[in-house]
Structure 1
Amino acid sequence: MDSGLDILVVAPHPDDAEISMGGTILACKAQGLRVGVIELTNGEPTPYGSPEIRKRETAAATAVLDLDFRENLELPNRSLESSLEARRKLAIVFRTQRPKVILAPYWEDVHPDHVSASHLTDAARFWSKLSKTDMPGERFWPPQIYYFWSIHLRIHPKPSFVFDISGHIDQKMQAIRSYESQMITGRPTEHPTVLDDIKDRARYWGWTIQRAYGEPFASREEIGIQSFLPLSAEELT
């Protein structure tokens, strides 16, 4: 079974995909790619949220991003582990959705759930290709995996590449604002707010590639290219 999903984002909690790579999702959708998000936990409890509130906020953000697929594995928040059962659940998603590219959390972070999510994604990617298992779906090896930065990571290693999101920053911020219980309620309203911080980081990464806004990614594996001229002469001026 091949659903034709091009990109699958593995997000530890609702809002992680939007914060870390919402612009990339929007840019890929604009290019005609099929993009999905699989959340590992519901992100609760939080000071101003609830499972019901987070579901409504996630639905609003999903509409902004125009995702082709979004589900939640309902694994335990705050105590996420790369357990055998968690690996199985995520591997089944990889087998059924068969993404060409997986985007997962970076393997270093101050939030333990993000570290566990990164390890879990790597393990589930391997499990997805195993034969003679009780998992449904045909065995499948997602061919590419890249890692995105979390808002919690203040000191960033050098990325493998930065994705240009210049034409999508406003929609990215709109999707993030959908999570009012996490981004707005109970937070300081004077500048700079958490929303300002997120946008400013995107501006910094855009600056590094001579673009207005960008989002960084890392790769443990080599990235193949076929040309040293990815941009036209007009784009480089």
Structure 2
Amino acid sequence: MLDILVIAPHPDDAELGMGGAIMKFIAEGRRVGVLDLTSGEPTPHGSLEIRARETAAATKIMGLEWRENLGLPNRSLEPTLENRAKLAAVFRREKPKWLFAPYWIDAHPDHVAATELIEAARFWSKLTKTDLPGEPHHPQRIYNYYCIHLKQALQPAFVLDITAEWDRKLASVRAYETQFITGRPTASPTFFEHFEAEAAYWGKTIGVRYGEPFTSREPIGMRSMGELV
């Protein structure tokens, strides 16, 4: 059983959007899993074999013990009934308390489809009198992380301090060499300069070095103000 399941449209989205949070949750003793919906291929410089090696390297850097791939098609991800059943079956098997999905607005169609699929599968996961495998299960919370294709001024619900995790987050993203190093422009500002500046901006908003923003369609409950930064 997982405490937290991060669902990513492609390998590298979890690292980009919330790699710091993943490592923080693991350090706090929570059982965290990442489910990649697709292989992420084809891409200009990658292949299925290379992408699998890069994903394994990033997984090791983050200290993840649970990572699976649902095997849905890259570039044509759709929230179909068949895909909904596949994802709901994972929810019923692993019984996560919290789900993390991409933000529901994005320039990448796969990211938008992924969030629609996740929300529908969360509902299906709790159904009785169904041919879905396993016992009914309804994840308590669903939160949203932000992916790099979004071109919007964000208004997150909260920002998580990832200063202690930043170096390993950066290393986990660098593990995807075919996606973020090979063939990328080398003139400043580079991809990684932008990437760090963005994390530093979110850190500045809460008075720390680096941060990751999150939001939720649902109200976020609190028992006390004691853990606020």
Query: Structure 2-normalised TM-score?
Result: 0.97
The root-mean-square deviation of aligned C-alpha atoms, in Å, is: 1.0
Aligned equivalent of 1:78: 75
SS in 1 for 2:71: coil
Equivalent AA in structure 2 for residue 15 of structure 1: D
What residue identity is the alignment partner of 1:113? D
Q: CA deviation at 1:207?
A: 0.6
Which of 11, 14, 28 is the equivalent residue of 2:11? 14
Specify the alignment match of 1:160 in structure 2: 157
Matched, 1:149 2:146: yes
SS of the residue aligned with 2:120?
helix
Alignment-mate amino acid for residue 213 of structure 1: Y
The aligned counterpart of 1:219 is: 216
Aligned residues with identical type, % of pairs: 59
CA distance in 2 between partners of 1:7 and 1:153 (Å): 24
State whether residues 107 and 151 of structure 2, in contact with CA within 8 Å, keep that contact through their aligned partners in structure 1: no
Shift of 1:230: 2.4
Give the superposition deviation at 1:229.
Answer: 3.4
Task: Output the CA distance in 1 between the equivalents of 2:226 and 2:70.
Answer: 41
Q: Structure 2 CA distance, aligned partners of 1:230 and 1:173?
A: 26
Q: Choose the corresponding residue for 2:102, options 105, 108, 117.
A: 105
| Matched residues, number | 229
For 1:54 and 1:195, locate their aligned partners in 2 and report how far apart those are by CA, in whole Å.
Answer: 19
Question: Quick one: which of 90, 93, 102 aligns to 1:96?
Answer: 93
CA distance in 1, matches of 2:192, 2:131: 44
Q: Is 1:137 matched with 2:134?
A: yes
- The answer to whether the 8 Å contact 2:45/2:179 transfers is yes
Could you tell me which of 26, 31, 38 is aligned with 1:29?
Answer: 26
Q: Which moved more, 1:175-184 or 1:152-161?
A: 152-161
- For the pair 1:173 / 2:170, whether they are aligned, the reply is yes
Deviation at 1:228, TM superposition (A): 2.7
Contact 2:15 2:173 in 1 (8 A): yes
Give 2:160's aligned amino acid.
F
C-alpha displacement of 1:157: 2.9
| Distance in 2 between residues matched to 1:196 and 1:135, nearest whole Å | 45
Contact residue 10 and residue 40 of structure 2 kept, 8 A: yes
Q: Does residue 210 of the first structure (1) align with residue 207 of the second (2)?
A: yes
| Partner amino acid, structure 2, of 1:110 | A
Match of 1:65 in 2: 62
Which residue identity lines up with residue 41 of structure 1 in the other structure? T
Amino acid at match of 1:164: D
Residue 6 of structure 2 aligns to a residue whose secondary structure is strand
Equivalent of residue 49 in structure 1, options 46, 58, 71: 46
Query: What is the rounded CA distance, in whole Å, between the counterparts of 1:230 and 1:60 in structure 2?
Result: 33
Give ranges in structure 1 of 5+ residues lacking alignment: none
Give the distance between the partners of 1:186 and 1:96, measured in 2 at CA: 40
Q: Does 1:127 align with 2:93?
A: no
In structure 1, distance between residues paired with 2:109 and 2:79: 11
**2: CA distance, partners of 1:87 / 1:210:** 40
What is the SS of the residue equivalent to 1:139?
coil
SS of residue matched to 1:74: strand
Q: Which amino acid aligns with 2:76?
A: S
Aligned with 1:40: secondary structure? strand
Gaps of 5+ in 2: none
TM-score by length of 1: 0.94
Moved over 2 A (4+): 228-231
Distance in 2, matches of 1:154 and 1:184, equals: 21
